[in-house]
Each structure stands twice: as structure tokens, then as C-alpha cells.
Amino acid sequence: MRLLVAGGGLAGLVAAARALELGASVTVLEKGDRPGGSFVYSSGYIWSYRDLPTFRREAPGGDPDLQALVLGRLEEALSWLEASGGVILSRETGNPLTFGARFDPEPTAAALAGRVEKAGGQLLLRRALRRLLTAEDGRVRGAVVEGEGGRDEAAADAVILATGGFAANPELVRRHILRGPGRLLLRAHPWSAGEGFLAALAAGARPGPGLDEFYGRNLPAPPARFGPKLFVEVSQLYGRHAVAVNLRGERYADEGADWSETALVRATALQPRQRAWYLLDAAALRRRVRERSVGEMVEAARRVGGTVLRAGSLEELARRLGERGVPAERLLRTLREYNAAAEAGRAGELRPPRSGEAPVLGEPPFAAVEVAAAITHTIGGLAVDAGCRVLREGGEPVGGLYAAGVEAGGLSAGGYASGLAAALVLGMRSAETAVEEAG
């Protein structure tokens, strides 16, 4: 059985390694100059919610069959990854809602790539999928591949798409996520530009839910400059301890809407210039998020050239932001309304409301950090079933076509779930289904 895997990130490497174990002949096409995808830039946490009701609550728009698949197979998949050379850093996630493990991304990706090649698989770098080849009956029979020497056709009995969604395609992001002008910062490698998604649609596939959603973080806004290896370090993951205002000086979202702050990042993406300000007082700067304090995350933003303003009073902070174009009087009114509601325990009555803890912004000195929304990966993708078969509009599979990782849409629509767990579990499942159906 000849299997073509498009994409050499975690999902593609897992699919290739598992298919080789099952006796397939495997070729992996990686558009970039190295394997590993954005996994190598991540914190390495691979997790699931602890039970299906929690999964459904945290990602209510997601496909319950896919969610049950990830939940049911993650422990087995983590053990498989460790046995395949994955390097475990921790067997805890630090979140009572979840279970999983933390892997060291670079050596784990290297181990998987080595396993693929040692088992006889081909790992071809700088090879991009351009089009799927189909037979008269609509079954996928290979792909058109573009490399440095031009375009070639690669025949296959099945194709697994694991090209990582379309986060690095500004046009698709504008069309599906922003629904208008603007551009998100990219918190990932630059190769996931939607080739697999578009090729599947052209072959008759239908998209799954969540095309207008993404996972990402608010990062220090330009002129901050930093490379991919600092993506985790410079992420400004403390919105729940701040008051978030847009460039008009207005609160624009519920800062405490969810534990992951995914909703806050998505709301930032819809603000003018996809930017906002996080406003903090001294008490907030002392708070801790996992192993770091908020003050340390603010310092990371300043260190890479981000805009961090400090002031001894809210009036001074408003004046300094006014110098940056934020209407000072409106901002002061916003902060006074917020503080009054927080002090009275009525933050849930604000518009937008404030969920959970609503700290009063009152202890000087104060700080303001300019942030910009950044996309790590798309949430929506191709409609698939629990066997990772890509589906047509009528619900029947596109013969010979499978999807893994974030290429498979619908797992975490309406919320957030681990993209790395989708890569691992769906990578394994897509390989198993493809080999079984070809055999």
C-alpha cells in the first residue's frame, strides 16, 4: 500500500510512523526546510479534557465523535509517542480540567523523523502539495507535487492531509476569520498556507465547523521584534488579571471568559488594527500564571521592543495612552466605570460583562502593554468522521483521502482544545484507517 502524507509536522510524522508500523510504503511531503512544523515552537503540552462533558462544555461547537476519539485514545497515544522516542518533560498539565503530558518538542520531532526514515519511509523536504489527483470515480490516487525542480505527479493508494490549516495564508484568514481587512501576526511557521485545505475542497470535500475561529495568543505589538523560538516566552497570557481596552479606549471583551484566554484573543482580532492595550496595577503585576509572574511577562514584552507604559496614577496612564492616540477622557470613563462595578461586585453587569474574578485597578504603579492578536493555527478545516475520512457535502467519504491535526476541522469549534492532541491522536487514527481500507 502506497501512502502519501502531505505535511511533516507532528500530525504528518505521527501518521507516517504509524502507517510504516502497519506495513505501508510511505512518502512524506514537507513544504518547509525541516520536519516538525510548529510543534517545535510550542510549549510541548499534549492534553485532553478529563471527561466528555467537560470537553463538550469547553468546545460546544465541536464534533462529539472526534472529541470522544481524542479523549479515549490520548493515553495510549502518549505511550506510543514516548516509545517512539518522544522525550517527556512532565506527566502533568498544571490544569485540573485536563490530563496529558509535556514533551520536549525538538528532540521528539527529530525522533519521529528518524523513525520514519529508519523504517524505510521517504521524508522529502521543500515539496509542496499543489493538487490532488483523482480517478474517474472520484477516488484520490495521488497528488501534484511542486519542488525546486518543478512539478511532478506522485501516485498513491491514499493521501493523508496534514499541512496544518491556513494560518499562514493572509487572504484565507481575512476571508474566513477577520471577515474584512486586517492582518493577524503569525505565531507559527510560515508554511501552513492552506494547500491541503484548498486541494481537498477542489476534490469535492466540504469544510467542517469553526472556519471563523482560530487558536492564538496576544503578543507584544510591533515595533516588538522576536523570532519563532520566543513565541512562548513573549506571549502575554494574563488578560484575566488586566483590563483590556481597544484603541478607542473601550473594553471590548470579557477578559475572564475562559481559562485559556482564547476568546479574548479572538476578540482582539476583531478590533481596529487587531490591537489592544492590557492595563494593570501593581497587584496584577505580582500575580502568577503557571511558572511566571505577570510582571515577568510584561518585562518579556519590553525586552523585545514592545510598548510598555508606566504611570503613578490612572490619570497619568490615560494621559500617556492619549499621546498614543487612545482618547484619554473616554479611557478614564471606562476605567472608572469598571472600577466602580468591580468594587461593588457588579462586574457581571458591565457591557461587556466581566466573568470570574474582577480585580479593581487601584494599586499604583500602573502599566499598559500594547498587544496584537496572533494566530497559531486555524480551528476550522475539513469535515471528517471518526476514522479521519474526509467527507463530501452529502456526508459520504472522498475515497482515499484522510486528514489529521488541525487539517481536520470540528474538534474544538466554539472553544479551545489541544492542537497537539489532535495531531497525535488523529495522526495515528488516519494512518490506521487508510491502511485498513487499502488492504
**Domains of the chain (ranges, CATH numbers):** 2-212+379-438 (3.50.50.60), 218-374 (3.90.700.10)
Q: What confidence category does residue 149 fall into, taking pLDDT thresholds of 50, 70 and 90? A: confident
Query: What is the separation of C-alpha 220 from the centre of its chain, rounded to a whole number of angstroms?
Result: 18
pTM for this prediction: 0.95
Taking the CA atoms of 371, 184, 422 and 189 in sequence, report the sign of the dihedral they define: negative
Q: How many residues does the chain have?
A: 439
Residue 339, number of CB atoms within 10 A of its CB: 18
Query: Residue 412: pLDDT above 90?
Result: yes
| pLDDT reported for residue 290 | 85
Rounded mean pLDDT, 42-52: 97
**What CA–CA distance (Å, rounded) separates 87 from 107?**
7
Residue with cell 472600577: 339
Q: What confidence category does residue 439 fall into, taking pLDDT thresholds of 50, 70 and 90? A: confident
Query: Checking DSSP bridges between strand 288-289 and strand 292-293, what pairing results, if any?
Result: antiparallel
The chain-wide mean pLDDT, for the chain, equals: 97
- CA neighbor of 42 nearest in space, from 220, 215, 188: 188
Rounded mean pLDDT, 179-183: 94
Q: Give the tens place of pLDDT for each residue, 153-176.
A: 999 999 999 999 999 999 999 999
Q: Give the tens place of pLDDT for each residue, 357-398.
A: 999 999 999 999 999 999 999 999 999 999 999 999 999 999
Rounded mean pLDDT, 390-408: 96
| pLDDT reported for residue 343 | 96
| pLDDT reported for residue 283 | 98
Query: Residue 410: pLDDT above 90?
Result: no
Query: Residue 106: pLDDT above 80?
Result: yes
> For every residue of the chain, which 3-state class applies, written as one string?
CEEEEECCCHHHHHHHHHHHHCCCEEEEEECCCCCCHHHHHCCCEEEEECCHHHHHHHCCCCCHHHHHHHHHHHHHHHHHHHHCCCCEEECCCCCCCEEEEEECHHHHHHHHHHHHHHCCCEEEECCEEEEEEECCCCCEEEEEEEECCEEEEEECCEEEECCCCCCCCHHHHHHHHHCCCCCCEECCCCCCCCHHHHHHHHCCECECCCCCCEEEEEEECCCCCCCHHHHHHHCCCCHHHCEEECCCCCECCCCCCCCCCHHHHHHHHCCHHHEEEEEECHHHHHCEECCEEHHHHHHHHHHCCCCEEEECCHHHHHHHHHCCCCCHHHHHHHHHHHHHHHHCCCHHHCCCCCCCCCCCCCCCCEEEEEEEEEEEEECCCECECCCCEEEECCCCEEEEEEECHHHECCCCCCCCCCHHHHHHHHHHHHHHHHHHHHC
| pLDDT reported for residue 291 | 87
**β-pair partners for 215:** 377
Rounded mean pLDDT, 91-120: 97
Rounded mean pLDDT, 390-416: 95
